[in-house]
Amino acid sequence: MIPLPLIEKGKSVKIQKISGGRGFSLRLMDMGIKEGDVVKIINNSQGSLLISLENIRLVLGRDAAFRIFVKYAKE
C-alpha cells in the first residue's frame, strides 16, 4: 500500500484504506469516495492533489491525501 501523494500524475489507483479519523473517512464517503474505488490522479504538482472518480473532481490537501492508502489499479 502506498500513500496517495506518492502516486504520479495520470495514474489510476485503487483505494485500499482510508485512515486517520472517522470524521475524515465518513466525509469522503459522503462525497462518494470510499475504499475499493478506483481514482485517477489529475494533478499532483502543487501541494494539494486533484483526483477524479468518474465525473467527480476532488481536491485533497496533501496532509489529507497521506491518510489514503492505495495500490496501482490493473488497467
Partner 1 sequence: MCFKIALAGNPNSGKTTVFNLLCGANEKIGNWSGTTVEKKQGILTYKNQKIEIIDLPGIYSLSAYSIDERIARDFLLKENSDLVVCVVDASNLERNLYVVIQLLELGVPVLLDLNMMDVVEKNNIYIDIEKLKKVLDIDIVETVASQSKGIEILKDLILDNLKRKKSQGFKIDYADLEIHIEKIIHLLSEKNIGLEIPLRTLAIKVLEGDNDIFEQVREYFPQITEYKRQAEIEILKNHGDDLETFMIETRYTFLKRISDECMKKDASVKEVTNFSDKLDGILINKYLGIPLFLFFMYLLFQLVFTIGNPIAGLIDSFFSNLAEYVKMFCQNNNFPSWVGSLVSDGVIAGIGSVLVFLPNIMLLFMGISILEDSGYLARAAFIMDRFMHALGLHGKSFIPMLLGFGCNVPGIMATRTLESRKDRILTILINPLMSCSARLPVYVLFSSVFFPKYQGVVVFSLYFLGIILAILVAKLFNHLFFKSEITPLIMELPPYRIPTLRNISLSIWSRSSIFVKKAGTIIFLSVVLIWGLSSLPFGCEYAGEDSLIGKFGQLIAPIFKPAGFGFWQAAVALFFGIIAKEVVVGAFGTLFGASETGLNSVLVQYFTPLSAYAFLIMILIYIPCIATISAIKRETNLKWTILAISYSLILGWLLSVLVYQIGSLF
* Contact residues for partner 1, defined by CB under 8 A: 20, 22-32, 34, 42-43, 45-48, 50, 52, 54-61, 63-64, 67
Measured CA to CA, the distance from residue 6 to residue 69 in angstroms comes to 10
Q: How far is the CB of 58 from partner 1 (least distance, A)?
A: 6
CA dist 75 → 38, 39, 40, 45, 64 (Å): 11, 12, 12, 23, 26
**Taking the complex as a whole, how short is the minimal distance between the CB of residue 71 and partner 1, in angstroms?**
19
Q: Choose between 2 and 31: whose C-beta lies nearer to partner 1.
A: 31
